[in-house]
Structure 1
Amino acid sequence: MATDNLTHLAAFAAVARHRSFRKAGAELALSTSAVSYAIRALEERLGVGLFHRTTRSVALTEAGQRLLERLQPALGQVHDALEEMNHFRAAPAGLLRINATRAAVQTQLGPRLAKFLLAHPDVRLELAQDDGLVDIVAGGYDAGVRLHESVPEDMVAVPLGPALRGLIVGAPAYLAGREIPRHPRDLHHHECVRFRFASGHLYKWQFERDGQALEIDVPGRLTLGDQNTILQAVVDGLGLAYVLEDSARPYLDDGRLVAVLEDWSEPFAGFAVYYPRQRQMSSALRAFIDLLRG
């Protein structure tokens, strides 16, 4: 295959993943005009349009969708072949793209980024924060980081860090004069700050004690999509919230928040980094996982 054809196909796959010429250029370290030229050249060579373009959106045509479906396995093999060559290098190199939840970035990845990049100067890291359930293969990511229970079954999952615990927290000012909940069902009599995933799914609070599991669809006038924003809302006295203990710990230690229903808050499997089973792990991803596990 001619080098320019491979470059054009790589540009096509990147634009298809991102639905953006600019973002595809950032991934490929090319200018937006260079990506646009590559797509035009490929369309002229094939004699069909691959994208519908407007000033606000980029979408695949039917022909473009068919080409992407046929190309993905082959491009995956090319990616694996190039990554295999990295094993002959003295140090990991290349672009590493990770998709992780905000909570995972805050507690697991963020504190280690500087150490990783300083230890591996030939690696370029792109970290996307997304609380939804993302198809990392379609998105062009090398790996994802989610709670272990959310990892797709067809992925290889590597546990990261210890078990986690969710806590129900509230500000002392909110709880003053109100009856403290003793059972999860008591939450129906409280204002609760709820959490909605980017996918649109509204999280139902989960509890477990002595083998008894409960799931409560709590009431509340305020629904947010970011744990830090939820914590601030609770500190401001807007209600109770279900948050990760690690995220709430600074607020609990200085007295801005207190925990309730702790006897219903049992630990659960924490975060895991996961990657496609059929893809060979790159040296950069292996180094990243080694650092996180260490």
Structure 2
Amino acid sequence: MDRDLWAGLAVFAEIVEAGSFTKAAARMGLSPSALSHAMRGLEAKVGIRLLDRTTRSLAPTDAGENLLRQLRPAMASVEGALGTLDAGRTRPAGRIRINAHRMAAVHVVLPRLAAFAKTCPDVAVELIVNDGLVDIVAERFDCGVRHEGQLQLDMISVRISPPVPLVFAAAPSYLASCCAPQVPDELSRHRCICYRYTSAGTMHVWEFVSGESIIQRPVTGSFVTNDIDVMRDAAVSGVGVACLPAPHVEEHLKSGALVEVLRGWAPILPPNHLYYPHRRQPSAAFQAFIGAMRVPSEA
């Protein structure tokens, strides 16, 4: 089979999986016009239209869908063969794409990347920060990082952090004009900084430790954002009370920029897990990355 036909088939599969020429081009590091040219060339070679395209959407034709149904197992077989070849390398090489929520990206993944880069200098890492829930298979990520309980089904997971304590905090400037809340019910008299999940559109529900159980209290947000850094900075500037991961505000608590409130009421988040689809033959690069990300005591 000629080289151009192989390339065209790969482009076709990528476009359908991404759902648009623009997204597929970004994944492949090419321009949308280059992909459009490749698709026209492929359809000319096979003599049939494979994609129905409009200005707003695209979908495979019946012929295209039939082709993809047979093409996907073949492509998976090729990827498996390449994985087997890569596993035989004495020096891991390749690219790893990770989707992680901001807290894990900043406080778990990044601190371990320098050592990984020294050990595996031929491995390129692409870290995408996204606090929403992502289908890592559909989005072509090698792995994702989320808290236990947020993992996609049918995934292999590896714990990469201990449990993460939360803390309720506010700036001294905010507390100077009102009494610090002592119990959750008193939050109704306070301005609260809340987080909205972009992917689901829902608000993060505040939870509180009560004895051995966790209780929930409705909190009305006087300020709502979808970014944890903005939440922290809003709290520092005196906007109100925020519920934040302790590692993310540790320095601010030490410096006095923030003050902990509702001490003893904050819950603890489950550990972070790196998760990925079942693979027959993970690449040497991916195996090395998993080893670098494991909790040190479990490595």
Please give the TM-score of this superposition, normalised by the length of structure 1: 0.88
Q: 1:60 is matched with which residue?
A: 59
Is the partner of 1:208 in helix, strand or coil? strand
The offset of 1:103, in angstroms, is 1.5
Identity of aligned residues (%): 37
Asked if 1:96 corresponds to 2:117, the answer is no
Is the partner of 1:262 in helix, strand or coil? coil
Contact 1:154 1:276 in 2 (8 A): yes
Asked if 1:267 corresponds to 2:268, the answer is yes
Q: 1:255 is matched with which residue?
A: 256
In 1, distance between residues paired with 2:226 and 2:68?
32
In 2, distance between residues paired with 1:236 and 1:120?
42
Q: 1:10 is matched with which residue?
A: 10
Asked if 1:194 corresponds to 2:194, the answer is yes
**Once the two structures are superposed, what CA deviation does each residue of 1:119-174 show, in whole Å capped at 9, x if it has no partner?**
32322222211111100011111100111121123111100122111111111111
The offset of 1:111, in angstroms, is 2.4
In 2, distance between residues paired with 1:17 and 1:114?
33
Q: 1:125 to 1:27 in 2, by over 3 A?
A: farther
In 2, distance between residues paired with 1:46 and 1:60?
18
- Larger deviation: 128-137 or 208-217? 208-217
Contact 1:191 1:239 in 2 (8 A): yes
Is the partner of 1:158 in helix, strand or coil? strand
**Once the two structures are superposed, what CA deviation does each residue of 1:84-114 show, in whole Å capped at 9, x if it has no partner?**
2111111111221111111111111122333
**Unpaired runs of 5+ in structure 1?**
none
Is the partner of 2:95 in helix, strand or coil? strand
**Once the two structures are superposed, what CA deviation does each residue of 1:165-200 show, in whole Å capped at 9, x if it has no partner?**
111111111112423222223222211111011212
Q: 1:95 to 1:186 in 2, by over 3 A?
A: same
Contact 2:93 2:123 in 1 (8 A): yes
**Once the two structures are superposed, what CA deviation does each residue of 1:217-257 show, in whole Å capped at 9, x if it has no partner?**
31122110111111111111111111110001011010000
- Larger deviation: 26-35 or 42-51? 26-35
**Once the two structures are superposed, what CA deviation does each residue of 1:17-36 show, in whole Å capped at 9, x if it has no partner?**
44454553454354544433
- The aligned runs of 1:62-81 (5 Å cut-off) are 63=62, 71-81=71-81
Contact 2:18 2:24 in 1 (8 A): yes
In 1, distance between residues paired with 2:182 and 2:270?
25
- Larger deviation: 220-229 or 202-211? 202-211
Residue identity in the other structure for 1:265: A
Residue identity in the other structure for 1:252: L
The offset of 1:210, in angstroms, is 2.1
The offset of 1:69, in angstroms, is 6.0
Contact 1:209 1:265 in 2 (8 A): no
Asked if 1:219 corresponds to 2:220, the answer is yes
Is the partner of 1:263 in helix, strand or coil? coil
In 2, distance between residues paired with 1:216 and 1:70?
52
Residue identity in the other structure for 1:123: V
Q: 1:250 to 1:193 in 2, by over 3 A?
A: same
Asked if 1:115 corresponds to 2:115, the answer is yes
Q: 1:127 to 1:68 in 2, by over 3 A?
A: farther
In 1, distance between residues paired with 2:92 and 2:245?
33
Asked if 1:132 corresponds to 2:128, the answer is no
- Larger deviation: 206-215 or 63-72? 63-72
Contact 1:235 1:256 in 2 (8 A): yes
Asked if 1:39 corresponds to 2:39, the answer is yes
Residue identity in the other structure for 2:110: G
In 2, distance between residues paired with 1:267 and 1:233?
22
Q: 1:174 to 1:51 in 2, by over 3 A?
A: farther
